[in-house]
Structure 1
Amino acid sequence: MRNSRNLHRSQHSRIFSWILMGTVSLATLCTLSACSSGPDFKELDALMENSIAEGFPGAVIGVWYKGEIIKLQAYGYAKRHDASEPARTVQTPRAVSPIPEAATLAARPDTIYDLASNTKMYATNYALQYLVSQGSLDLDLPVQHYLPQYKDRPQDPVKGKASVTVRDLLHHTAGHPPSIEFYQSDDPDLFANDRATGLLAMQRAPLEVPPRTRVKYSDIDYMLLGHLVETIGGSTLDHFLEDTFYKPLELKRTGFNLLESPANGANFEPRDFAATEIYGNSREKQREFPGMRTQTIQGQVHDEKAFYSLGGVAGHAGLFSTAEEMLTLMSLMLSGGEYEGKAYFNQQIIDEFLTPNPQFPEEGFGLGWNINVNGKFAYLFGRHASDQAFGHSGWVGTLSVIDPKHDLMVVLLGNKKNTHIQMDCGKALCERFDGDKMAIGDYDPVIEKVYEALGLAEPE
């Protein structure tokens, strides 16, 4: 018998195929599944549609509640803007000449999204949780035990890498800066424009402060963790995850570099993916560097470090997936690490990874996971999530929320970076996209509407 927490795949897959063919509405879906007399998502739908009317590109939302997917719906566009449009300038900070409607691409329930930093959880963290369960990884050993090239350089002003443990990387207390632009670094030790040099450069990344003196969310931490998985697992991160998780879970649209290395032998085209930044990585043609992409990014990882320095396969970014397949992945955290009788890790490991860092409990970080401690991540999870809720977000517009108290999972896959840059930001380099502060891009309004539709909102 299937674990009761697992997705009811056969029934849902049939309904899902009907949605794709356009033969059922959401109301019909509810009569075919578990929500015939259940939640009313009208306010959520209105919020999504209003945000798109204001200019947000689009999104897919999936809601799993008490063992069933009760909502899986696409809104708006997978591509609303592309590089054929005139770019904004400081002189024309609000000018937009959108592409013709016929050139846009509608979002679909099976649209594949760049997960950005959700990669950290559903690729790297899952791999680490698996390796710990196998006895192959000790979180309290120094990183140098696994990555000997991870050491201080003589010129580094802050020393201490020898004491940095794997747990420190997961807690974001190693002392690294949030990011280093390896692909355009002036430091020859840190410059990397291919994967081989990228793997070395990340290990040379200097500390910004001594280890364990602060919490600072850092991509560098997860770049190192991804390489650590490769070192222990004996293969690149993408192949390790495909063999260990994605293929056994029968995920068809989840993986790294799907255009070049399709999962399970499938073939994809750019139109299968949601588009992100309009003019490559130029921030509306405000910057350039050697080899920079200038065309609309669609089907390639947006993150520059992952793309230019690590060949699209990195511990911090690079994973793609759909809303339905994300719910399958997320369900492992509610089922004790099991899916359809196969164990990937166990509840003891889940509990350890979800325990707030005792040194900085108020910061809301477990081992990688964002935890809703004292409302620390209310800007992600909203006002109604329980203090047991956890998950992660992704810079391009993705969010995952898992709430064990309510037996609830919500995934929001959006592409808020497929909007123009607000050129009147008053900074030398504007990096504020129009979509960032629209309702869908702001995350918590969407999550709050889900809780309210389910009757889970606490009275204020």
Structure 2
Amino acid sequence: REDIESKCRKVLTYKYVLGLKKKSYVQLSGLEQRINSPQTRDLVRRLNLAAITVLNNKNHILPLHTDKEQTIALLEVGDPGETDALAKQLSRYTSLARFSLRANQTKEENQRLRDSLSTYKRIIVAVSEQRLAPYQPFFAKFVPESPAIYLFFTPGKMMLQIQRAVAHASAVVLGHSYSSDVQRQVADVLFAKASADGQLSASLGELFPTGAGVTITPKTPLHFVPEEYGLSSAHLKRIDSIALDGIHQGAYPGCQVVVLKNGHIMFDKAFGTYTGKGSPRVESTNIYDLASLSKTTGTLLAIMKLYDKGRFNLTDKISDHLPFLQRTDKKDITIQEILYHQSGLPSWIPFYQEAIDKDSYDGRLFSARKDIHHPVQIGTTTWANPKFKFKSEYISPVKTGDYTVQICDSLWLNRSFRKVIEEKIAEAPLKQKRYVYSDVGFILLGMLVEQLAGMPMEAYLQREFYEPMGLEHTGYLPLRRFAKSEIVPSNKDRFLRKETLQGFVHDEASAFFGGLAGNAGLFSTARDVARVYQMLLNGGEIDGQRYLSKETCQLFTTETSKISRRGLGFDKPDADDPKKGNCAPAAPAEVYGHTGFTGTCAWVDPVNELVYVFLSNRIYPDVTNRKLNQLHIRERIQGAIYDAMKKK
């Protein structure tokens, strides 16, 4: 008894010290948004997906093949409209004929329905109704010759009411709930666009024992014999030696390379390690910081989508959509000028300097040479003093109050800093309208997307592209969805953030947007990136689903500036001097794509129907490592692809 009382006193003491004896009140305003946060929704989505159970899979009927030519019958058992989300998602992958089974149909109606279904080679039965007694007369005689796949969006025990029909099913999938998200996920599982490895926690009569469950793994693109598509396997192996040469010479610790020809994978390999000897090996599913490749794999996709929807014209002044620019020298800049990088905007603005306390360090923050006060090299001829402090009005070591924008593991930015960024952009002098590659321009395009889409750019991209395209490893703020161990470190930041950046964007400007800026911040794998550019090569379509109109794709991927090699957001080869561009000399003028500071690139060749992606972390540990460029690794790999076409 004394022991219990002692422990109770200890608990009460801690409650008093922590202030828990005070009555706390819940702030009701914004409660729904706080509870239903993106992290919460993602957790619910992942839990729902983990619960999906494929109970059997006779003759490996699953996964189904994406085929718009073959129509699949969908029989919906339940209230009208309850499985609309399922039908819509299935329609992304196949042609669909929908049938509805009503309760207490006559014998004649049941037979006509059975006869209609018998003409299809595949039948999906979607059950959202829990009381199946009124439907038993239909199922008692429903034993089709074609494979039937039963989907239950109900508790599992409900299938026992139509046990005989289920016993003859080719596949049975238990979704547990008829929520729209679960329906979409089940549809994805059927076509191996999502994984399913759930197991039954309790037996279902004699149908399925405890632990029943078949694993469905997402489809990875099939590898094809390169010779079938006009490439030499032997010469493609040069990619291995070039990639490994880069590792041996210290250009980067590891990398991923993907090559597609006519939509099929010709080459897909990962090389090296995360950070060097003793660190994990790079796998094809590991995630890289794309740096400026985010511009065309993220921001530009959103811009193209909004253009498709008629939300703006290329000749629009950006100040018409971003009011903070209206009374500045930037009021007449057009969206087209920004896309061409010829708006007169500066290349970049060091926003972070506004957060640094200028009285917290001796001398200057930067120096042209290394000395006792400037030991950290951050550029070819720039050394920095890391012994500074941030202004407490802008930076906090913990998340609290208005300090909600995370810069790295240990720093949180006050959300009011967004106003400071806008002021710095507005104040920056506008220069002559000639070609100057500008991060600032794409930062403004990111703001434009937010304004026109009415939501954060990352949410818009996730909804319009990444999620429906099945790009599970692509997105901003990857630590919200992935373990840090799945993300390749990009840099040891010894100056600004003073930590290894792993899952936080390296780019300083994007970091002060919390990693959600138009110039950088996207993370992905080479496989996912290749899928994005294959969609563009296809004219805005992939797997039978259209994401952009052909006309918009044609415009953005073919137009070129009159004063530079740049396209509308895309980089291109330099027609006058191939050595000045970022492509192999053999790349035709029609090629488009982009590169990234962390050591990334993606190039599309519409003439030869090629997609080439290279991802690395060449700035680990040091941003001054220029060996990737000096050795021309990316260009040499691209050149090897063209050589393989010549020597097939």
Give the structure 1 partner of residue 274 of structure 2. Answer: 78
Give the structure 2 partner of residue 166 of structure 1. Answer: 335
Query: Structure 1 residues 386, 161: CA separation in 2 closer, same or farther (over 3 Å shift)?
Result: same
1:374-393 equivalences in 2 (<5 Å): 374=575, 378=579, 379-393=581-595
Is 2:336 the partner of 1:116?
A: no
Is 2:533 the partner of 1:330?
A: yes
Cα offsets for 1:222-245 (capped at 9, x unmatched): 000001000110111111111111
Cα offsets for 1:114-160 (capped at 9, x unmatched): 1100111011110010001111122211111110011455xxxxxx3
The code of the aligned residue for 1:337 comes to G
Give the structure 2 partner of residue 416 of structure 1. Answer: 618
The code of the aligned residue for 1:49 comes to L
* Stretches of structure 2 lacking an aligned partner (at least 5 in a row): 1-66, 70-92, 94-187, 194-221, 358-390, 395-412
Describe the SS at the equivalent of 1:215.
coil
Query: Structure 1 residues 196, 125: CA separation in 2 closer, same or farther (over 3 Å shift)?
Result: farther
Quote the offset at 1:383 in angstroms.
1.0
CA distance in 2, matches of 1:32, 1:364: 31
Is 2:635 the partner of 1:396?
A: no
Higher fraction of strand: 2
The code of the aligned residue for 1:403 comes to D
The answer to whether the 8 A contact 1:397-1:417 is kept is: yes
Cα offsets for 1:248-293 (capped at 9, x unmatched): 1111100000102x2xxxxx12221111112x2x3xxxxx4xxx32
Query: Structure 1 residues 52, 317: CA separation in 2 closer, same or farther (over 3 Å shift)?
Result: same
CA distance in 2, matches of 1:128, 1:327: 19
Q: 1:39 is matched with which residue: 223, 233, 239? A: 233
The code of the aligned residue for 2:308 comes to S
Is 2:575 the partner of 1:406?
A: no
Between 131-140 and 177-186, the greater mean CA deviation after superposition: 177-186
The sequence identity of aligned pairs, in percent, is: 26
Quote the offset at 1:187 in angstroms.
11
- What TM-score do you get using the length of structure 2 for normalisation? 0.54
CA distance in 2, matches of 1:304, 1:312: 9
Give the structure 1 partner of residue 245 of structure 2. Answer: 50
CA distance in 2, matches of 1:165, 1:32: 44
CA distance in 2, matches of 1:445, 1:311: 35
- What TM-score do you get using the length of structure 1 for normalisation? 0.75
1:430-445 equivalences in 2 (<5 Å): 432-433=624-625, 435-437=627-629, 439=631, 442-445=633-636
**Structure ID, larger Rg:** 2
CA distance in 2, matches of 1:203, 1:249: 37
The answer to whether the 8 A contact 2:258-2:530 is kept is: yes
Give the structure 2 partner of residue 226 of structure 1. Answer: 446
Q: 2:546 is matched with which residue: 340, 343, 346? A: 343
Query: Structure 1 residues 130, 249: CA separation in 2 closer, same or farther (over 3 Å shift)?
Result: same
**Pairwise CA RMSD:** 3.2
**Structure with more contact order per residue of length (Cα contacts < 8 Å, sep ≥ 6):** 1
Describe the SS at the equivalent of 2:258.
strand
The answer to whether the 8 A contact 1:202-1:220 is kept is: no
Query: Structure 1 residues 437, 353: CA separation in 2 closer, same or farther (over 3 Å shift)?
Result: closer
Give the structure 2 partner of residue 353 of structure 1. Answer: 556
The code of the aligned residue for 2:620 comes to N
CA distance in 2, matches of 1:30, 1:354: 27
Describe the SS at the equivalent of 1:413.
strand
The answer to whether the 8 A contact 2:224-2:265 is kept is: no
Between 375-384 and 143-152, the greater mean CA deviation after superposition: 375-384
Quote the offset at 1:207 in angstroms.
4.7
The code of the aligned residue for 1:144 comes to S
Is 2:385 the partner of 1:182?
A: no
Give the structure 1 partner of residue 324 of structure 2. Answer: 149
CA distance in 1, matches of 2:479, 2:356: 32
Figure out how many residues of one structure are paired with residues of the other and give that number: 380
* Stretches of structure 1 lacking an aligned partner (at least 5 in a row): 15-27, 81-100, 154-159, 263-267, 283-287, 421-430
